[in-house]
């Protein structure tokens, strides 16, 4: 970890200005302008600085500002050799400033370059310019060596602290970006899941209803071609009309479910049993609200199971047992067995496979198979 920090750049998020509060940016610019103003004022009021020397000094300050801006841009792009070259050039300009009498600007330039190197360069690459800058400051300092060493150590710690602060800000920016990406992905996943649920509801209702209608209408067509009795043909047409009416009602229920307007589960099952006239409902456990997905799964499984009873066990008695457990809901549908109806071979559209897929999507399970007398379907869903 230390080797990575020693050899690698600070992240681009750390070197950039994104995430820096506006008051902090304004304060930084105010400090820069204040330092530049003080330097120019001190240079112009020096008795030794007159005429062309003053003009050259102001031009030098402008060149320093341009090189510093270029250094910050190059470090943002992680361009090592160009950044080092500019930093060494700035340190050289500090030596020139000191030689011509601009001692205070030279000192600030040396220390600023050293601190900037520690803040924005890989630590291994920052050692050279930081060492040159601090050594130049210490050599030119009029104070004792103890004071120079203490001041140099303080500035080095300040540069490293700025680096740590920038890296912490960069880490926060990366985490924020990851969180935003995760939220976008979560929203897209939720939208896809909702579209899948709507498609499944439409398929479960329409495929089941339309396939049954198709069987009746096809039978009526064949009877007409064969010249069958009018009453038999009418019976098929009436059955198809009943299937269409039931399908329309189921479609309305599915739309209500998608809007979150579901009737209570027990009330729905009671109405379903009342319509068949061959089943009874038993509810045990503490009743509680269910999620729309779990409630719809129970409703669809009950509908399909009763449809299968009418098709494959005509006249059988059916028991619907609804059991509220602490962590799940169990629906058990058992029939007593009976003779297959005329349409027993017709496709149901949804079937046991569809019921099992619906249960597994919710993290539940579905088991179906014969028992001692007839057939039993057991649905378990988290609740």
51 pLDDT exceeds 60?
no
pTM across the whole model = 0.45
9 belongs to a structural domain? yes
18 pLDDT exceeds 80?
no
- Rounded Cα distance, 133 and 110, in Å: 4
Write the pLDDT tens digit of every residue in 56-103.
666 777 787 788 888 888 887 788 888 888 888 888 888 887 777 777
- Rounded Cα distance, 304 and 351, in Å: 7
167 belongs to a structural domain? no
Write the pLDDT tens digit of every residue in 136-187.
888 877 777 777 778 888 888 888 887 887 788 778 788 888 888 888 888 7
160 belongs to a structural domain? no
DSSP 198-223: HHHHHHHHHHHHHHHHHHHHHHHHHH
pLDDT at 220: 84
Q: What is the mean pLDDT of residues 363-379?
A: 86
Most confident of 44-48, 162-166, 360-364: 360-364
225 belongs to a structural domain? no
pLDDT at 331: 92
Number of helices followed by number of strands (H, E) in the chain? 12, 5
Q: 330-347 burial string, b = 16+ CB within 10 Å, else e? A: bbbbbbbbbeeeebeebe
Q: Which residues make Cβ contacts (< 8 Å) with residue 303, sequence separation at least 6?
A: 250, 272
Give the chain's domain count: 2
The boundaries of the domain holding residue 332 are 264-383
219 belongs to a structural domain? no
- Rounded Cα distance, 262 and 292, in Å: 8
Write the pLDDT tens digit of every residue in 330-354.
999 988 876 665 444 444 444 677 7
- Rounded Cα distance, 359 and 122, in Å: 56
228 pLDDT exceeds 70?
yes
- Rounded Cα distance, 319 and 219, in Å: 32
290 belongs to a structural domain? yes
188 belongs to a structural domain? no
CATH for 281: 3.30.565.10
35 pLDDT exceeds 70?
no
pLDDT at 340: 60
Residue that is last in its domain, among 116, 140, 164? 140
- Rounded Cα distance, 80 and 368, in Å: 69
Helices of type H across 277-347: 292-312
Write the pLDDT tens digit of every residue in 311-329.
777 777 888 899 998 888 9
Q: Would strands 318-324 and 328-335 be described as parallel, antiparallel, or unpaired?
A: antiparallel
- Rounded Cα distance, 350 and 140, in Å: 89
163 belongs to a structural domain? no
What three-state secondary structure class fits 376?
strand
Q: What is the mean pLDDT of residues 356-383?
A: 86
pLDDT at 62: 78
Residue that is last in its domain, among 108, 140, 172? 140
Residue that is last in its domain, among 77, 112, 140? 140
Percent of the chain with pLDDT over 70: 75
Q: What is the mean pLDDT of residues 118-122?
A: 83
């Amino acid at each position: 970890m230390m080797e990575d920090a020693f050899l690698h750049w600070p992240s681009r998020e750390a070197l950039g200005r994104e995430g820096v509060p506006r008051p902090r940016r304004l304060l930084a610019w105010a400090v820069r302008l204040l330092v530049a103003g003080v330097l120019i004022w001190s240079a112009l009021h020096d008795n030794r600085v007159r005429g062309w020397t003053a003009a050259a000094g102001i031009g030098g300050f402008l060149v320093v500002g341009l090189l510093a801006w270029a250094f910050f841009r190059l470090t943002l792009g992680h361009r090592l050799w160009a950044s080092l070259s500019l930093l060494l050039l700035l340190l050289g300009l500090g030596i020139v400033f000191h030689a011509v009498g601009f001692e205070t600007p030279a000192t600030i330039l040396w220390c600023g370059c050293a601190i900037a190197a520690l803040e924005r360069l890989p630590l291994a690459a920052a050692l050279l310019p930081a060492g040159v800058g601090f050594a130049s400051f210490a050599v030119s300092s009029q104070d004792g060596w103890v004071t120079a060493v203490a001041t140099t150590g303080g500035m080095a710690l300040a540069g490293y602290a700025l680096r740590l602060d920038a890296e912490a800000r960069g880490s926060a920016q990366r985490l924020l970006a990851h969180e935003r990406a995760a939220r976008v992905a979560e929203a897209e996943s939720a939208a896809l899941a909702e579209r899948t649920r709507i498609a499944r509801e439409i398929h479960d209702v329409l495929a089941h209803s339309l396939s049954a209608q198709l069987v009746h209408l096809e039978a009526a067509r064949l009877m007409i071609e064969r010249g069958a009795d009018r009453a038999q043909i009418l019976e098929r047409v009436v059955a198809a009309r009943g299937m269409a009416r039931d399908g329309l009602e189921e479609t309305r229920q599915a739309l209500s479910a998608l809007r979150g307007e579901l009737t209570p589960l027990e009330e729905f099952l009671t109405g379903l049993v009342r319509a068949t006239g061959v089943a009874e409902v038993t509810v045990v456990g503490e009743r509680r609200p269910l999620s729309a997905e779990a409630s719809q799964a129970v409703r669809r499984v009950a509908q399909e199971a009763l449809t299968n009873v009418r098709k494959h066990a005509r006249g059988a008695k059916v028991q619907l047992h609804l059991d509220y457990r602490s962590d799940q809901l169990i629906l058990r549908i058992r029939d007593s067995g009976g003779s297959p109806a005329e349409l027993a071979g017709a496709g149901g559209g949804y079937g046991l496979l569809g019921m099992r897929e619906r249960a597994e999507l919710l993290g539940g399970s579905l088991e179906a198979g014969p028992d001692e007398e007839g057939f039993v379907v057991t649905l378990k869903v988290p609740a």
